[in-house]
Amino acid sequence: MEVVESIERIRERVLQLRAQGRRVGLVPTMGALHAGHLSLIEASRRECTATVATIFVNPAQFGPSEDFSRYPRTIDQDLAELRQAGADLVFVPRSEEIYPPGFSTFVEPSSVAAPWEGSCRPGHFRGVATVVLKLFQILPAHLGFFGQKDFQQALVIRRMVADLNLPIAIRVCPIVREADGLALSSRNRYLSQDDRHRATAISRGLRAARNRFLAGEARAELLRETVLSELRQSGITQPEYVAVADAETLAEVTEATAATVILVAARVGQTRLIDNLVLGDSNDA
Ligand code: PAF
């Protein structure tokens, strides 16, 4: 596995792979890898004949009061895991490589970026869309792999790819969960033992809502209340949002269908967690 820091070299290597007829999969990450990321590498290896991962903690997607400086950086372990998982190339640029002095062009994401994460984290999706477009330009891959845990992010990226005619196909891979339901996240490592335990209320609430839906309850307000009630029982009284929304547009719905997603963002202790469940998705346990 080759580790590359420069744009020039990674582009050259990816173009070589393409010239050899390899189908190239791209897995963008911010490092602090966990089994969710590794499932993206596996998905890429199933569909592609070369897999390129990137590790870059993108300053442009963090707000001024967010955790950019303390975001976990575990590069040696990340590289060992990527090697073990079978990645072929890893791009680990320095910040100045991606954002050289004078950098001043950003992607304005579509309206799907506006609600939920978009309103809680102003500028976040602008930063995500910009860096992802840059990665797509730097590394001309055939397929890009993203996790469903960042549900809204995946929609923003899909929309950008369609709107800007980018020659890459996007795959969104299922959420990987701990045995007790907690969605894997690089930020889970911030949780104290007590918060870690309380955090399970999020996935429990989502599952309880889906069970009610499967039992015939379609009123969105009641499904939302089901999630809120689980959260309250664990002392999470002020989630940032619990949204029952259309899985394509993210507009709130009043009647849920199989194509409805429930999105949650909540602080557990000091740690901000997000999770989601599509009501008709029987694969997410
Ligand atoms: O999902 C992430 O880890 C990041 O938002 C991404 C897609 C790597 C862009 O920085």
Q: What is the pLDDT of residues 222-277, one digit of tens each?
A: 999 999 999 999 999 999 999 999 999 999 999 999 999 999 999 999 999 999 99
Pairing label, strands 143-147, 169-173: parallel
* Integer Cα distance of 189 and 220 in angstroms: 32
Two domains, one topology: 2-173 and 186-278: no
What residue owns the CA closest to ligand 1's atom 3?
A: 29
Distance 247 CA to ligand 1 centre (A): 20
CATH for the stretch 2-173: 3.40.50.620
pLDDT band at 123 (very low <50, low <70, confident <90, very high): very high
Q: Is the CB of 117 under 6 A from ligand 1?
A: no
- Indicate the top mutation candidate among 95, 132, 157, 160 to test ligand 1's pocket, ranked by most ligand atoms within 8 A of CB: 132
Query: Domain segments of the chain: what residues?
Result: 2-173, 186-278
Distance 12 CA to ligand 1 centre (A): 23
Report, as an integer, the average pLDDT of 76-89: 98
CA-atom Rg of the chain in angstroms: 19
Residues in the chain: 285
* Integer Cα distance of 161 and 51 in angstroms: 20
45 token code pair:
């290896």
Distance 29 CA to ligand 1 centre (A): 5
Distance 146 CA to ligand 1 centre (A): 8
Angle, alpha carbons 92-97-98 (nearest 5°) = 85
CB 91 within 8 A of CB 53: yes
Domain 186-278 is of which CATH architecture?
2-Layer Sandwich (3.30)
CB 259 within 8 A of CB 248: yes
Say what the pLDDT of residue 141 is: 98
Query: Is 142 assigned a catalytic role?
Result: no
pLDDT band at 285 (very low <50, low <70, confident <90, very high): low
Neighbours of 82 (CB within 10 A): 25
pLDDT band at 70 (very low <50, low <70, confident <90, very high): very high
Tell me whether residue 228 is exposed, middle or buried, using C-beta atoms within 10 angstroms of its C-beta: 0 to 12, 13 to 18, 19 or more. middle
| Distances from the Cα of 189 to the Cα of 23, 66, 104, 175, 261, angstroms | 34, 16, 34, 17, 26
What residue owns the CA closest to ligand 1's atom 2?
A: 29
Taking all residues of the chain, what is their mean pLDDT, rounded to a whole number? Answer: 97
Q: Which DSSP letter does residue 23 get?
A: P
